[in-house]
Amino acid sequence: MKQILVGIDFSKNSIHALEYAIQFANKVGANITLLWVNNTTTSEYIFDETLIEIKKEKRANLDKLVEQYQKQLSPGKLKYKLRKGKVHLEVAAQAKLINADLIIAGTHGVSGFEEYWIGSNAYRIVTHAPCPVITIRYDFPFKDAIKKIILPIDSTQETKQKLPITLKIAQSYKAEIHILALYSTSLKALQRRVDNHANQVKEILSKQGIKCKIASEKADSMTNATITYAQKINADLIAIMTEQETTTANIFLGPFAQQLINHSAVPVLSLRSKELVN
Protein backbone atom coordinates (compact mmCIF):
# COMPACT_ATOMS: atom_id res chain seq x y z
CA MET A 1 0.00 0.00 0.00
CA LYS A 2 1.90 3.04 -1.29
CA GLN A 3 -0.57 5.75 -2.32
CA ILE A 4 -3.45 7.16 -0.26
CA LEU A 5 -5.83 9.80 -1.63
CA VAL A 6 -7.65 12.10 0.79
CA GLY A 7 -10.54 14.32 -0.29
CA ILE A 8 -10.21 17.74 1.31
CA ASP A 9 -12.68 20.62 1.55
CA PHE A 10 -11.30 22.26 4.70
CA SER A 11 -14.27 21.16 6.83
CA LYS A 12 -13.59 19.53 10.18
CA ASN A 13 -14.71 16.25 8.58
CA SER A 14 -11.97 16.32 5.98
CA ILE A 15 -9.25 17.57 8.33
CA HIS A 16 -10.12 14.73 10.71
CA ALA A 17 -9.89 12.33 7.74
CA LEU A 18 -6.45 13.75 6.88
CA GLU A 19 -5.22 13.20 10.43
CA TYR A 20 -6.56 9.65 10.32
CA ALA A 21 -4.87 9.10 6.96
CA ILE A 22 -1.53 10.27 8.37
CA GLN A 23 -1.50 7.72 11.18
CA PHE A 24 -2.61 5.06 8.68
CA ALA A 25 0.08 6.04 6.14
CA ASN A 26 2.76 6.03 8.83
CA LYS A 27 1.82 2.47 9.69
CA VAL A 28 1.90 1.16 6.09
CA GLY A 29 4.62 3.48 4.71
CA ALA A 30 2.42 5.29 2.18
CA ASN A 31 2.40 8.72 0.55
CA ILE A 32 -0.67 10.95 0.77
CA THR A 33 -2.22 13.10 -1.94
CA LEU A 34 -4.78 15.70 -0.92
CA LEU A 35 -7.45 16.48 -3.50
CA TRP A 36 -9.60 19.60 -3.63
CA VAL A 37 -12.31 19.71 -6.30
CA ASN A 38 -13.90 22.90 -7.60
CA ASN A 39 -17.46 21.68 -8.09
CA THR A 40 -18.95 25.08 -8.93
CA THR A 41 -20.18 25.91 -12.42
CA THR A 42 -18.55 28.69 -14.40
CA SER A 43 -21.92 30.39 -14.90
CA GLU A 44 -21.96 31.19 -11.18
CA TYR A 45 -19.18 33.69 -11.74
CA ILE A 46 -19.29 36.71 -14.03
CA PHE A 47 -15.57 37.31 -14.18
CA ASP A 48 -12.78 34.82 -14.74
CA GLU A 49 -10.77 36.74 -12.14
CA THR A 50 -13.08 35.37 -9.46
CA LEU A 51 -12.22 31.79 -10.42
CA ILE A 52 -8.52 32.63 -10.42
CA GLU A 53 -8.77 34.13 -6.95
CA ILE A 54 -10.63 31.08 -5.62
CA LYS A 55 -7.93 28.81 -7.02
CA LYS A 56 -5.18 30.94 -5.47
CA GLU A 57 -6.96 30.87 -2.12
CA LYS A 58 -7.35 27.09 -2.16
CA ARG A 59 -3.70 26.60 -3.15
CA ALA A 60 -2.64 28.83 -0.27
CA ASN A 61 -4.81 26.81 2.13
CA LEU A 62 -3.42 23.56 0.81
CA ASP A 63 0.15 24.86 1.12
CA LYS A 64 -0.57 25.59 4.78
CA LEU A 65 -1.93 22.08 5.33
CA VAL A 66 1.14 20.51 3.73
CA GLU A 67 3.44 22.69 5.83
CA GLN A 68 1.51 21.82 8.99
CA TYR A 69 1.09 18.08 8.46
CA GLN A 70 4.17 16.99 6.47
CA LYS A 71 6.20 16.86 9.69
CA GLN A 72 3.72 14.30 11.06
CA LEU A 73 4.01 12.04 8.01
CA SER A 74 7.08 9.82 7.97
CA PRO A 75 8.57 8.45 5.77
CA GLY A 76 5.84 9.31 3.26
CA LYS A 77 5.38 12.54 1.33
CA LEU A 78 2.36 14.84 1.40
CA LYS A 79 1.26 16.68 -1.71
CA TYR A 80 -1.93 18.02 -3.25
CA LYS A 81 -3.87 18.32 -6.49
CA LEU A 82 -6.72 20.54 -7.65
CA ARG A 83 -9.38 19.40 -10.09
CA LYS A 84 -12.67 20.76 -11.41
CA GLY A 85 -15.93 18.86 -11.90
CA LYS A 86 -18.24 16.60 -9.96
CA VAL A 87 -16.59 15.63 -6.73
CA HIS A 88 -17.08 11.86 -6.78
CA LEU A 89 -16.02 11.60 -10.43
CA GLU A 90 -12.90 13.70 -9.94
CA VAL A 91 -11.92 11.75 -6.84
CA ALA A 92 -12.25 8.52 -8.83
CA ALA A 93 -10.28 9.98 -11.75
CA GLN A 94 -7.45 11.19 -9.51
CA ALA A 95 -7.34 7.84 -7.74
CA LYS A 96 -6.85 6.11 -11.10
CA LEU A 97 -4.23 8.67 -12.16
CA ILE A 98 -2.01 8.09 -9.13
CA ASN A 99 -2.90 4.40 -8.87
CA ALA A 100 -4.21 4.93 -5.35
CA ASP A 101 -4.40 1.92 -3.09
CA LEU A 102 -6.88 3.59 -0.75
CA ILE A 103 -9.14 6.65 -0.53
CA ILE A 104 -9.98 8.18 2.85
CA ALA A 105 -12.96 10.52 3.09
CA GLY A 106 -14.68 12.24 5.98
CA THR A 107 -18.40 11.92 6.45
CA HIS A 108 -20.86 13.71 8.71
CA GLY A 109 -23.26 10.78 9.07
CA VAL A 110 -26.95 11.44 9.60
CA SER A 111 -26.45 13.96 12.39
CA GLY A 112 -24.36 17.10 12.68
CA PHE A 113 -24.83 17.79 8.98
CA GLU A 114 -22.39 20.19 7.42
CA GLU A 115 -22.86 21.59 3.94
CA TYR A 116 -19.42 20.63 2.63
CA TRP A 117 -18.83 18.49 -0.38
CA ILE A 118 -16.82 15.72 1.29
CA GLY A 119 -19.56 14.80 3.75
CA SER A 120 -22.37 15.07 1.23
CA ASN A 121 -20.50 13.09 -1.44
CA ALA A 122 -19.01 10.37 0.77
CA TYR A 123 -21.26 7.57 -0.47
CA ARG A 124 -20.92 8.67 -4.11
CA ILE A 125 -17.15 8.52 -3.69
CA VAL A 126 -17.45 4.99 -2.31
CA THR A 127 -19.63 3.74 -5.16
CA HIS A 128 -17.46 5.23 -7.93
CA ALA A 129 -13.99 4.60 -6.48
CA PRO A 130 -11.61 2.27 -8.34
CA CYS A 131 -10.05 1.22 -5.03
CA PRO A 132 -11.11 0.62 -1.43
CA VAL A 133 -12.42 3.61 0.55
CA ILE A 134 -12.40 4.30 4.27
CA THR A 135 -15.07 6.74 5.44
CA ILE A 136 -14.64 8.22 8.88
CA ARG A 137 -16.90 10.41 11.00
CA TYR A 138 -15.38 13.63 12.32
CA ASP A 139 -16.24 12.62 15.89
CA PHE A 140 -14.58 9.19 15.84
CA PRO A 141 -11.77 9.31 18.43
CA PHE A 142 -9.19 7.27 16.55
CA LYS A 143 -5.88 6.31 18.12
CA ASP A 144 -2.54 5.23 16.66
CA ALA A 145 -3.62 1.62 16.49
CA ILE A 146 -6.37 -0.42 14.85
CA LYS A 147 -6.90 -3.28 17.27
CA LYS A 148 -10.22 -4.84 16.23
CA ILE A 149 -11.64 -5.18 12.72
CA ILE A 150 -15.11 -6.52 11.93
CA LEU A 151 -15.41 -8.59 8.76
CA PRO A 152 -19.12 -9.23 8.03
CA ILE A 153 -19.79 -12.35 5.98
CA ASP A 154 -22.87 -13.25 3.90
CA SER A 155 -23.81 -16.18 1.66
CA THR A 156 -22.38 -14.84 -1.65
CA GLN A 157 -18.94 -15.57 -3.08
CA GLU A 158 -18.25 -11.83 -3.41
CA THR A 159 -18.29 -11.44 0.36
CA LYS A 160 -14.74 -12.82 0.53
CA GLN A 161 -13.29 -10.26 -1.88
CA LYS A 162 -12.66 -7.84 0.97
CA LEU A 163 -10.44 -10.36 2.74
CA PRO A 164 -7.06 -9.50 1.11
CA ILE A 165 -7.03 -5.80 2.02
CA THR A 166 -8.48 -6.51 5.46
CA LEU A 167 -5.73 -9.05 5.97
CA LYS A 168 -3.06 -6.51 4.98
CA ILE A 169 -4.42 -3.94 7.40
CA ALA A 170 -4.59 -6.50 10.18
CA GLN A 171 -0.98 -7.52 9.52
CA SER A 172 0.21 -3.89 9.54
CA TYR A 173 -1.51 -3.16 12.86
CA LYS A 174 -1.31 -6.66 14.36
CA ALA A 175 -5.06 -6.37 14.72
CA GLU A 176 -7.64 -8.98 15.63
CA ILE A 177 -10.34 -9.76 13.06
CA HIS A 178 -13.87 -10.55 14.16
CA ILE A 179 -15.60 -12.57 11.45
CA LEU A 180 -19.28 -11.67 11.78
CA ALA A 181 -21.60 -14.24 10.19
CA LEU A 182 -24.87 -12.44 9.57
CA TYR A 183 -28.02 -14.44 8.82
CA SER A 184 -30.67 -12.62 6.82
CA THR A 185 -32.93 -15.67 6.59
CA SER A 186 -34.09 -18.60 8.68
CA LEU A 187 -33.31 -21.02 5.84
CA LYS A 188 -30.78 -23.49 7.19
CA ALA A 189 -29.15 -24.10 3.80
CA LEU A 190 -28.26 -20.42 3.44
CA GLN A 191 -27.12 -20.18 7.04
CA ARG A 192 -24.79 -23.14 6.43
CA ARG A 193 -23.40 -21.36 3.39
CA VAL A 194 -22.63 -18.31 5.53
CA ASP A 195 -20.99 -20.56 8.12
CA ASN A 196 -18.88 -22.24 5.41
CA HIS A 197 -17.64 -18.86 4.14
CA ALA A 198 -16.86 -17.76 7.70
CA ASN A 199 -14.90 -20.93 8.43
CA GLN A 200 -12.96 -20.61 5.17
CA VAL A 201 -12.04 -17.04 6.04
CA LYS A 202 -10.95 -18.06 9.54
CA GLU A 203 -8.75 -20.81 8.11
CA ILE A 204 -7.03 -18.36 5.76
CA LEU A 205 -6.48 -15.80 8.50
CA SER A 206 -5.19 -18.39 10.95
CA LYS A 207 -2.63 -19.62 8.41
CA GLN A 208 -1.42 -16.03 8.08
CA GLY A 209 -0.98 -15.75 11.82
CA ILE A 210 -3.89 -13.34 12.29
CA LYS A 211 -5.76 -13.58 15.56
CA CYS A 212 -9.44 -14.05 14.69
CA LYS A 213 -12.74 -15.31 16.00
CA ILE A 214 -16.20 -16.02 14.58
CA ALA A 215 -19.42 -14.53 15.89
CA SER A 216 -22.90 -14.92 14.42
CA GLU A 217 -25.96 -12.69 14.45
CA LYS A 218 -29.48 -13.12 13.11
CA ALA A 219 -31.37 -9.88 12.73
CA ASP A 220 -33.93 -8.15 10.55
CA SER A 221 -31.65 -5.13 10.30
CA MET A 222 -28.16 -6.12 9.22
CA THR A 223 -27.01 -2.53 9.70
CA ASN A 224 -28.17 -2.42 13.31
CA ALA A 225 -26.71 -5.84 14.02
CA THR A 226 -23.32 -4.82 12.67
CA ILE A 227 -23.27 -1.49 14.49
CA THR A 228 -24.40 -3.11 17.74
CA TYR A 229 -21.64 -5.70 17.51
CA ALA A 230 -19.10 -2.97 16.71
CA GLN A 231 -20.11 -1.14 19.86
CA LYS A 232 -20.03 -4.34 21.89
CA ILE A 233 -16.41 -5.14 21.05
CA ASN A 234 -15.24 -1.51 20.71
CA ALA A 235 -14.25 -2.06 17.06
CA ASP A 236 -11.88 0.26 15.18
CA LEU A 237 -12.91 -0.64 11.60
CA ILE A 238 -15.71 -2.41 9.71
CA ALA A 239 -14.91 -3.93 6.29
CA ILE A 240 -17.78 -4.37 3.81
CA MET A 241 -18.60 -4.89 0.14
CA THR A 242 -20.76 -2.18 -1.41
CA GLU A 243 -22.46 -4.15 -4.18
CA GLN A 244 -22.93 -7.82 -4.92
CA GLU A 245 -25.16 -10.01 -7.03
CA THR A 246 -28.89 -9.48 -6.56
CA THR A 247 -30.30 -12.50 -4.79
CA THR A 248 -32.76 -13.03 -1.98
CA ALA A 249 -29.80 -14.08 0.15
CA ASN A 250 -27.86 -10.89 -0.50
CA ILE A 251 -27.65 -8.72 2.62
CA PHE A 252 -24.95 -6.36 1.35
CA LEU A 253 -26.75 -4.44 -1.37
CA GLY A 254 -26.13 -0.75 -1.86
CA PRO A 255 -28.67 0.30 0.80
CA PHE A 256 -26.82 -1.69 3.48
CA ALA A 257 -23.51 -0.01 2.64
CA GLN A 258 -25.15 3.40 2.50
CA GLN A 259 -26.91 2.89 5.83
CA LEU A 260 -23.75 1.65 7.48
CA ILE A 261 -21.67 4.56 6.18
CA ASN A 262 -24.34 7.01 7.36
CA HIS A 263 -24.99 5.47 10.77
CA SER A 264 -21.77 3.82 11.90
CA ALA A 265 -19.69 5.75 14.40
CA VAL A 266 -16.84 3.38 13.52
CA PRO A 267 -14.84 3.94 10.28
CA VAL A 268 -16.05 1.80 7.39
CA LEU A 269 -13.76 0.21 4.80
CA SER A 270 -15.79 -0.25 1.60
CA LEU A 271 -14.78 -2.32 -1.40
CA ARG A 272 -16.64 -2.77 -4.69
CA SER A 273 -16.94 -6.18 -6.33
CA LYS A 274 -14.12 -6.70 -8.84
CA GLU A 275 -16.45 -7.10 -11.81
CA LEU A 276 -17.99 -3.70 -11.03
CA VAL A 277 -14.69 -1.80 -11.03
CA ASN A 278 -13.78 -0.33 -14.42
pLDDT at res. 115? 46
Q: Which CATH superfamily is domain 148-276 in?
A: HUPs (3.40.50.620)
* Domain residue extents for the chain: 3-137, 148-276
Instruction: Give the residue-averaged pLDDT of 230-240.
Output: 96
Gap between the Cα atoms of 35 and 103, Å rounded: 10
Gap between the Cα atoms of 19 and 69, Å rounded: 8
pLDDT in tens, 154-192: 888 888 899 999 999 999 999 999 999 988 888 899 899
Gap between the Cα atoms of 53 and 87, Å rounded: 20
Q: What is the DSSP letter of 142?
A: -
Q: What is the mean pLDDT of the chain?
A: 87
pLDDT at res. 174? 96
- Residue among 235, 197, 234, 189 nearest 216 (CA): 197
pLDDT in tens, 119-132: 568 888 988 999 99
pLDDT at res. 42? 58
Structural domain 3-137, CATH architecture? 3-Layer(aba) Sandwich (3.40)
Domains 3-137 and 148-276 belong to one CATH topology: yes
Instruction: Give the residue-averaged pLDDT of 71-84.
Output: 95
277 confidence band (pLDDT: 50, 70, 90): very low
Per-residue pLDDT at 113 exceeds 90? no
DSSP-based three-state secondary structure for 110: coil
